[in-house]
Chain A
Amino acid sequence: ETGVTQTPRHLVMGMTNKKSLKCEQHLGHNAMYWYKQSAKKPLELMFVYSLEERVENNSVPSRFSPECPNSSHLFLHLHTLQPEDSALYLCASSSRIAGYEQYFGPGTRLTVT
């Protein structure tokens, strides 16, 4: 595997379900990010992790819970979501040494029914 991978690619869940999104980066980066992209809205930064510590939480509802067990893995745990949470969830990683640009995974298309 190379780059940034995300699983699953598509997810349909009910409002009472609990699910997790997984992101893995194979680039040796030390920062990871979660973004939400809704239709016709700009990219929204949700969480930032640097060296496994959360450094930013952009007023995201508590029904989204991130976890970063090590510098290569990032999870987004989901519970009791709302239909408006349906969106494309993108993971990214970066490194100051690599030049600050963020490399993105393919995203998870989430539909909440």
Chain B
Amino acid sequence: AQKVTQAQTEISVVEKEDVTLDCVYETRDTTYYLFWYKQPPSGELVFLIRRNSFDEQNEISGRYSWNFQKSTSSFNFTITASQVVDSAVYFCALSEARSSASKIIFGSGTRLSIRP
């Protein structure tokens, strides 16, 4: 069975600190996709990144970076020099990628609060 675990329920840091959101997943598939989504207070889930199971290269996009390690089944997300606008709930997710309508399994989310 597929499962995504985000052990950190809530994190609160002061602005400009770096923060890492942890994500651990379980799957028996050899081909799968991992995602991160951001849900600001407005409610809409915003897609941030997709990573497929064959690509373990880390990715950096501005202040955001992602560390994918198959050996530990982890896909962690780091925000460097955090800002108040980063405050949101962040979801890690996993997809089996078998068909056009592949289900996405979401973690329970980490609520990130950035204090000024």
Which residues of chain A have a CB within 8 Å of any CB of chain B? 30-31, 33, 42-43, 45, 48-51, 55-56, 88, 90, 92, 94-96, 99-107, 109
A100 x B43 contact (CB < 8 A): no
Asked if B91 is at the interface of the complex by the 8 Å CB criterion, the answer is yes
A24 to chain B, nearest CB (A): 15
B44 x A100 contact (CB < 8 A): no
A111 to chain B, nearest CB (A): 14
Asked if B114 is at the interface of the complex by the 8 Å CB criterion, the answer is no
B82 to chain A, nearest CB (A): 24
Which of B46, B47, B100 is in CB contact (< 8 Å) with A95? B100
Asked if B95 is at the interface of the complex by the 8 Å CB criterion, the answer is yes
> Chain B 103-116 against A: per-residue CB contact (8 Å), 1 yes, 0 no?
11011110000000
Known contacts A96-B99, A105-B44, then 12 further A-B pairs from the complex at CB < 8 Å, ordered by chain A residue: A42-B106, A42-B108, A45-B103, A50-B100, A90-B43, A96-B100, A101-B35, A101-B47, A101-B95, A102-B104, A104-B46, A106-B42
Chain B residues lying within 8 Å of A109, measured Cβ to Cβ, are: 43
Which DSSP category, helix, strand, loop or mixed, fits chain B's interface?
A: loop
B112 to chain A, nearest CB (A): 16
A100 x B91 contact (CB < 8 A): no
CA distance A96 to B103 in the complex (A): 11
A49 x B109 contact (CB < 8 A): no
Asked if B50 is at the interface of the complex by the 8 Å CB criterion, the answer is yes
User: For window 40-56 of chain B, which residues contact chain A by CB distance below 8 Å?
Assistant: 42-47, 50
Chain A residues lying within 8 Å of B33, measured Cβ to Cβ, are: 99-101
With A42-B108, A99-B33, A102-B47 already in contact, the answer to whether A94 and B42 are too (CB < 8 A) is no
